[in-house]
Amino acid sequence: MEPRESKLRPIPAQFPKSFTKPDEPWHHYLTLDLIVYVLSYTLFHPWTCWILVLCLRAQYTPYGNIEMRIAMAWAMLMSGIGIFGIFSDRFAYGRPREVDLSEEVIVITGGVEGLGGLLADTYGMRHANVAVLDTKKVSDEESEERGVLFYQCDVGDAEQVERVAREIVEDLGPPTILINNAGIVRPKSILDTTASDVEQVFRTNTLSHFHTLRTFLPHMLESRRGTIVTISSVLGHLGAAHLSSYAASKAALHALHHSLRAELAQHPHGADIKTILVSPGQMSTKMFEGVKTPSNFLAPVIAPTDVAKEILRLVERGESGEVVMPLYARWISVFGVLPAGVQKVVRRLSGVDTAIQRAGLVKEKMVAAEKSG
């Protein structure tokens, strides 16, 4: 008897690019973020701290002994900090909403590649209703393979967003989760940046958020549930040489996010519409490929998977919040209150203003003119 042919469609497999790169030395993977992560589940975790107290009691350590007092005081301190954090988040963001992916309609801008593509593929594999808006055209075969509907659309154009929104409502239903991820960068000095460059960056990075919010937010308010994810950047707090338009467009998103939260708090149907602000440091995507941080220990390049994991966690828990990583990015707002001289030293040591130029991503007319003169 001849074997029957398999009806399963073969899917080509390709190893991630990391497999083609040479192995780094062991200390390359040792970062401040990793150390803090381990400590957060050991020395700084209330459960672990109380286990230590129980272990001391199991050895019949008297309560009056100095080691028992220190262990109990530390456990109570960690418990107090943990409880305060829970109440602080509940007071700031309210109760989480119920999220059932089978009933959600997810819209992702700029979701063909990079972080947006990773989020789209993850939801597609879980059979969620996903609509991706991107200027890149995707074939029907690839769309079916990824389990995602792709709509060719320039999100910087309000009319195109409104047109595609009507198609999404007809194909999938009213959107309930909006992930504003689309972004571009034009690495040039301010004097070399044209009006067209600035307009294009702001249209894609900033104005697109206004277009999608005006278009999709009414559906969420009508159904009284939703989640809005705003993808910004740590450069929105810092600024950087040769990235003026990009940094300015991302800084605007921080203000937009806080304004959105304030308006939703005043709207009678806005209680169950959650907001998430994402401000990552440098990610290992094509946008800043070749840019190196001054210290892999203090400022590691983060993988898009790590950022995506945190976004997915908050979205699926139905919570509001912020995704800020790596560790230094959480304290970047403190940078602005430092003395001006200290700020200058920190910027020079960090190399934030020279990283783009060292990576060879800047197209400078001024430098060429000076050399020729």
Token pair belonging to 321? 């919040």
Give the residue from 66, 316, 99, 115 showing the smallest Cα distance to 230. 115
Return the DSSP state at 174. Answer: S
**Is there a catalytic annotation at residue 246?**
yes
Give the residue from 119, 138, 139, 357 showing the smallest Cα distance to 240. 357
Residue 157 DSSP SS3: coil
- How many C-beta atoms surround the C-beta of residue 212 within 10 A? 24
What are residue 108's DSSP bridge partners?
132, 179
H/E segment holding residue 146: helix 140-146
Give the residue from 115, 339, 106, 128 showing the smallest Cα distance to 216. 106
Give the residue from 46, 52, 283 showing the smallest Cα distance to 183. 283
Token pair belonging to 110? 């700029």
Token pair belonging to 330? 């959480």
Exactly one of 123, 151, 246, 328 is catalytic; name it.
Answer: 246
| Helix, strand, coil share of the chain (percent; to 5) | 55, 10, 35
Helix-then-strand count for the chain, H and E: 15, 7
Q: List active site positions.
A: 246
